[in-house]
Structure 1
């Protein structure tokens, strides 16, 4: 089952994002190698600067998706003001299995 991790950055925390980005990308690569991530990327503000993240992961249930979200280095660094975990159904333009 797919889950969307909808993460909103704390105001004024861009430097935390920049400093933590290498470990965040390594974490995403590990998820990708384990076939646990469908896609991911930042939300951008009106100036094109990152202000949050959308990560869609494969998990057995919401508890597993929440555990995945908790291991994000951005979460560990205190970047996020909020993280919402929602079950999600990919309908249009889903890659072939």
Structure 2
């Protein structure tokens, strides 16, 4: 089953993101092929990260929420909000 996670950073926490990025990337890589897409959302300048968007497979909604809760960014206090919900691929790209 596919899920999206949309995480929004707390304002003024860019350094937390930068400091925690290596651990976050290792966490994502450990998901293996079940992680379909991942990347930061940005400010209007298209450079400054302000959140994260993930598309991934998991067994069910509770498992998906539990996995996202383990993200080092969350443990570091980066996120202001986190939304995890089922997602259905309909058009584009080969997921």
TM-score, with length taken from structure 1: 0.92
SS of alignment partner, residue 26 of structure 1:
helix
Query: Aligned pair count?
Result: 94
Unaligned runs of 5+ in 2: none
Unaligned runs of 5+ in 1: none
Question: Using the alignment, how far apart are the partners of 1:50 and 1:15 within structure 2?
Answer: 11
SS of alignment partner, residue 63 of structure 2:
helix
Task: Determine the structure 2 residue equivalent to 1:19.
Answer: 19
CA RMSD in angstroms comes to 1.1
Q: Give 1:7-86 correspondences, 5 Å limit.
A: 7-32=7-32, 35-47=33-45, 48-86=47-85
- Tell me by how many angstroms 1:95 deviates: 1.3
Task: Determine the structure 2 residue equivalent to 1:91.
Answer: 90
